[in-house]
A and B are shown apart, each in its own frame.
Chain A
Amino acid sequence: MKSPIVKTAGRALTPFVLLYGAYVTLFGVLSPGGGFPGGVIMASGVILILVSHDSEKIKSLVENIEWFDTFGAFAFLLVGLGGLFLSGAYFANLWPRSPVMLILLDIVVSLKVFAGTVALFVYFFKQEVEPSSTE
């Protein structure tokens, strides 16, 4: 059973951590940041509420998180293919001199890193440390 201090702190901090991750992702073209750090920050928010609460409802939310991982990876491929078909080169800049392409790729990468990190954490969180057979 978790202490109420841990529960309250996790519940109060998680929205702000998620918001900061979204900010780092979306403003990656104007300030330090980008898809990878933003995705990891958002994943740390979800991990915070996973370790501070034992509720089954939250665990069921991240049950199929690896599908988002797959979606992010192939959306990145689709953006590249869009550049190939519309402009003639793989990952071509479809909107010259405007950061739309970078923001799009940032969002896709942050979704992918977020889902991948949470999936890794959920896998390690479920492990039992006792060996099944000692030989």
Chain B
Amino acid sequence: MKASGLQKNILTMALLLIIAVLLINGLRLEHEDKRESSLHEYYLETYEDAGSVNLVETILLNYRAYDTFGEVMVLYIAVAGILILGEEEKEGEKR
């Protein structure tokens, strides 16, 4: 466990290099041959049912509104947690 700073840096660099090679090789396989997804074509065919021209907005609030609900709840829970931390600290000062 008595590794010096330089040794540790070299070890980290080697690990990061291995991760980089793995990531580049793993991501290239599905990336090169197939650019168009069938989901994209489906969105292009049916986006008019939502009445909007903004496809990102349509996906966010119509096709995947349940996901957006979860996202809103994540933000709500984060705010609630932070405010609960603030409340706790006020009570601690009173005691």
Contacts and interface: CB of A to CB of B under 8 A. Distances in A.
Question: Main SS of chain A's interface residues?
Answer: helix
Interface residue range, chain B: 20 to 34
Interface in A31-77: 31-35, 66, 69-70, 72-73, 76-77
Interface stretch (A4-12, A13-21, A88-96): A88-96
Interface in B48-84: 48-54, 56-58, 60-62, 65-66, 68-69, 72-73, 75-76, 78-80, 82-83
Given A90-B66, A116-B79, A96 B49 contact: yes
Interface of B: 48-54, 56-58, 60-62, 65-66, 68-69, 72-73, 75-76, 78-80, 82-83, 86, 93
B69 A116 contact: no
A109 B72 contact: yes
A102 B79 contact: no
